[in-house]
Structure 1
């Protein structure tokens, strides 16, 4: 049994954590890599190129360690960097998550017309492990992957779909990415009797291709995304063809599950299964609310602060704060903390019992997930909610109904039983699972020794 991921995302990380907590310790494969997947996850690209050698040493490259021509200047904001030649922009630097660390993930090199022509990709060892060539009309052409000493190992042609692998003095040609992945899985001698995958893209294609090759298995799709007005085409294919390898579909969002039922999917063909979450603390019922943001665009902040004068608001940022936000310091119940460290962010999570997801811009420090596992009750506006799967729908308000949000916050702070009631509903909405529920879904008894 293996886990096959399209790429290593936050949701992928949560799925792997849930499986580990349930007692499953199987190989995890990320088909696509940005070079920063953890050591316990493998990727065909990094493995063939030699970047999974346990003896390899190095550290991710800080933004100002990028090599540039003399007299060119490297500049940085809190979210990305730039390379300039006097007043001319020559490159954009993109950071690996979390971006506040400013470690280089990719660099887009521009021509005189500001078109991207080359992208250099860097990994957690600080090495350039790949380079993408772009056409004049902004389409990817070829991506070349290198070994640690700079030799070409893999060439991926985005126009034809072909992949060339230099291995043991020979050039192996694969018609497409799924064929390349299957070659990797077989070369690593992974057990393919059951593949757990979380994407209807390449992992789904790999599952189907294995079936076409006569390799039998009982695969499971873990669906982590939302559902629109139609059933995704490849999911419909699974539902229509029970004879193929994929035998189960786990829906990991309550809203997605309900939407699929609304679209006519039989309840016996899909199952609800959320994530296993270990909570860091219990809510202390304090009148303390937290906002983490690098943006000064915070909806209805003034009215919330004025109407909830009994609540201590802490607003923290990884960056310096604008004059607009610093002006909130005039309120006695507001504490402003610019330029905090990640460690201070964790400490703030443990000190507050309400989280307000009311800022625009990117989420920082994985704030919603952190607030959830620190058992904070989360409130948001329709326009600002970052992760709806973690927020009770009734705690997401329209801007016109800010008065209702204020009354709801007052109510839970005045009555512990009500706070506990909504915290339990929040967990139920997020579909918090137990190790036993995972073992039951995967068909294993609670007391058996799990060997994968």
Structure 2
């Protein structure tokens, strides 16, 4: 029994966290490795490159660059210059101002990308991707001695492996992953997967006697995707489909008017999120931002003089934003520490997702986990899956947003209902639901 993820993205992280919270232990494999997989998620690239050690990730100023070149860095990205010519752009592993290098994209001045250096969570250069006319064409993976062990033709899709005394060619990534799974002798009787792309083709190459489950966490749209229809029309290892979005689960009769074909059954199972506290209805609003472009901030601050606004940024603030700190109901936090930001998330009970810049510190998700009431404008949302539809406003509805906040703070029953709706929209699940559904899918063999 394994989890097979195409990539370790947000939904994969949430699914694995949910299993762990429910004390369900299943080995996990990611088909594509970005170098920052956690220790308990395997991949064929991690295995054959064998780069796991105790080294720390690479801090941006540890990058080796030619003499007299320089690195300029913000909290969100860095740039490498030769005098005034930009040579590369640095991408970090997170937005928490730790500035740990994940990718360096090299180009000629400001032209298209020539190649990308990929660094892993132990500070190793573990892969290079080569570009042509702005398109990724070829990728090489290295071991800890810099030897090439995997070559991946991204255009043709085929892979060459030269590692651990194995010299083989694979026609595709699914073929390569299938070989890896069988080489490592994983138990492949039950496979949980959450993508209708590469993992589906892996299942088609495995013995037909397995019983697999698709956990579907994408927006289904007006009709079911073509590859899901493939599961209905053809007899495959996939026996179950689990919807992880409540809206799609409620539409299942509309989506499957002619039944489920060769799939045995449908289930619903969301995600388990940590909720360390309940909403205390404190008149305190939190905004976390990396820019001073905060929609209708002046209007909102004036309309709610008895509510304290806390505005935090991991970088310096502009004079425009610092000026708000002179108002009696506004406190600003430039260069906020991670510890202070976490405390603000614990102390405030309303979060406004109204800044135009990129999100910092996964703040919307963090606010959701703290059971803060989250509101935002339609054009400023960073993670709409955590914001209930009735708390999303048009740009000209600042007054309506204000009224919702004031009413919720005055009526505990309404605040509780809004938080419950917010959690339902985010597909919040319980430990008991996980044990029941996964136990049914595996005939009780999951543990």
* Cα distance between partner residues in 2 of 1:170 and 1:224: 36
- Report the alpha carbon displacement of residue 167 of structure 1 after superposing the two structures with TM: 2.7
Moved more, 344-353 or 434-443: 434-443
**Partner secondary structure for residue 325 of structure 2:** helix
Does the 8 Å CA contact 1:91/1:109 hold for their aligned counterparts? yes
* Cα distance between partner residues in 1 of 2:200 and 2:357: 33
Matching residue within 376, 381, 386 for 2:377: 381
Matching residue within 56, 61, 79 for 1:59: 56
* Cα distance between partner residues in 1 of 2:211 and 2:396: 50
Moved more, 165-174 or 363-372: 165-174
Matching residue within 93, 117, 121 for 1:124: 121
Matching residue within 228, 236, 244 for 2:229: 236
* Cα distance between partner residues in 2 of 1:275 and 1:323: 41
Aligned to 1:296: 292
* Cα distance between partner residues in 2 of 1:116 and 1:404: 45
Aligned to 1:202: 198
Matching residue within 373, 393, 413 for 1:417: 413
Aligned to 1:253: 245
* Cα distance between partner residues in 1 of 2:10 and 2:126: 23
Does the 8 Å CA contact 1:198/1:224 hold for their aligned counterparts? yes
Aligned to 1:333: 329
Matching residue within 344, 347, 357 for 2:343: 347
Aligned to 2:209: 216
- Report the alpha carbon displacement of residue 329 of structure 1 after superposing the two structures with TM: 1.9
* Cα distance between partner residues in 1 of 2:443 and 2:222: 42
Does the 8 Å CA contact 1:143/1:155 hold for their aligned counterparts? yes
The count of aligned residue pairs is: 443
Aligned to 2:396: 400
Matching residue within 139, 148, 151 for 1:143: 139
Describe the superposition over 1:34-59 as per-residue Cα deviations: whole angstroms up to 9, x where unpaired. Answer: 1111111111101111124xxx2211
Over 6 Å off, 4+ runs: 445-449
**Partner secondary structure for residue 149 of structure 1:** coil
Does the 8 Å CA contact 1:74/1:81 hold for their aligned counterparts? yes
Cα gap change, 1:283/1:244 in structure 2, threshold over 3 Å: closer, same or farther? same
Matching residue within 71, 74, 84 for 2:71: 74
Aligned to 1:3: 3
- Report the alpha carbon displacement of residue 90 of structure 1 after superposing the two structures with TM: 0.9
* Cα distance between partner residues in 2 of 1:410 and 1:446: 48
Does the 8 Å CA contact 2:190/2:442 hold for their aligned counterparts? no
Does the 8 Å CA contact 1:291/1:355 hold for their aligned counterparts? yes
In the superposition, the TM-score normalised over structure 1's length comes to: 0.93
Cα gap change, 1:381/1:105 in structure 2, threshold over 3 Å: closer, same or farther? same
Does the 8 Å CA contact 1:23/1:450 hold for their aligned counterparts? no
Cα gap change, 1:44/1:99 in structure 2, threshold over 3 Å: closer, same or farther? farther
Structure 2: runs of 5+ lacking an equivalent: none
Aligned to 1:313: 309
How do residues 145-164 of structure 1 correspond to structure 2 at under 5 angstroms?
A: 145-164=141-160
Matching residue within 430, 435, 439 for 2:435: 439
- Report the alpha carbon displacement of residue 335 of structure 1 after superposing the two structures with TM: 0.7
Does the 8 Å CA contact 2:439/2:445 hold for their aligned counterparts? no
In the superposition, the TM-score normalised over structure 2's length comes to: 0.94
Describe the superposition over 1:290-329 as per-residue Cα deviations: whole angstroms up to 9, x where unpaired. Answer: 1111121111111111111111110111111112211212
Does the 8 Å CA contact 2:96/2:361 hold for their aligned counterparts? no
Does 1:102 find its partner at 2:95?
no
**Partner secondary structure for residue 138 of structure 2:** strand
**Partner secondary structure for residue 370 of structure 1:** helix
Structure 1: runs of 5+ lacking an equivalent: none
* Cα distance between partner residues in 2 of 1:180 and 1:446: 26
- Report the alpha carbon displacement of residue 171 of structure 1 after superposing the two structures with TM: 1.7
Does the 8 Å CA contact 2:96/2:338 hold for their aligned counterparts? no
Does the 8 Å CA contact 2:51/2:124 hold for their aligned counterparts? no
Moved more, 391-400 or 90-99: 90-99
Does 1:357 find its partner at 2:346?
no
